[in-house]
């Protein structure tokens, strides 16, 4: 998994989502289904291509069963 570019918050948050999703053994399609989001959108978020809104970030956090703070903790895993 490629490390995000330091200072690009979209890539850093996307990196955290992907890392946790993979730790849980979920595909992008499975995460999308649980979160109520399209798998392509999940992929775009993980690659830092989309600026994810707070409501969707909350949906992803709930689907991954983590606090939203874990997804935006951009210094811990870099």
Q: Examine the pLDDT at 78 and tell me if it is beyond 90.
A: no
Number of structural domains, the chain?
Answer: 1
Residue 25 included in any domain: yes
Q: Which of 32, 33, 34, 26 is nearest to 45 (CA)?
A: 32
Which one-letter DSSP state was computed for residue 78? -
Per-residue pLDDT reduced to its tens digit, 8-45? 899 999 999 999 999 999 999 999 999 999 999 999 99
DSSP 38-76: -HHHHHHHHTT-S---HHHHHHHHHHHTS-HHHHH--ST
Residue 38 included in any domain: yes
Residue 54 included in any domain: yes
Residue 4 included in any domain: no
Residue 78 included in any domain: no
CATH number of the domain that 25 lies in? 1.10.260.40
Single pTM value for the model: 0.88
- Structural domain containing residue 55: 9-72
Residue 61 included in any domain: yes
Residue 77 included in any domain: no
Q: Examine the pLDDT at 76 and tell me if it is beyond 90.
A: no
Per-residue pLDDT reduced to its tens digit, 57-68? 999 999 999 999
């Amino acid at each position: 998994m490629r490390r995000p570019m330091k200072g690009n918050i979209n890539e850093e948050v996307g990196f955290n989502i992907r890392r946790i999703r993979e730790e849980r053994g979920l595909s992008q399609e499975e995460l999308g289904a649980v979160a109520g989001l399209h798998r392509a959108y999940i992929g775009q978020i993980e690659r830092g291509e989309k600026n994810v809104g707070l409501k969707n970030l909350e949906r992803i956090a709930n689907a991954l069963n983590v606090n939203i703070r874990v997804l935006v903790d951009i210094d811990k895993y870099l």
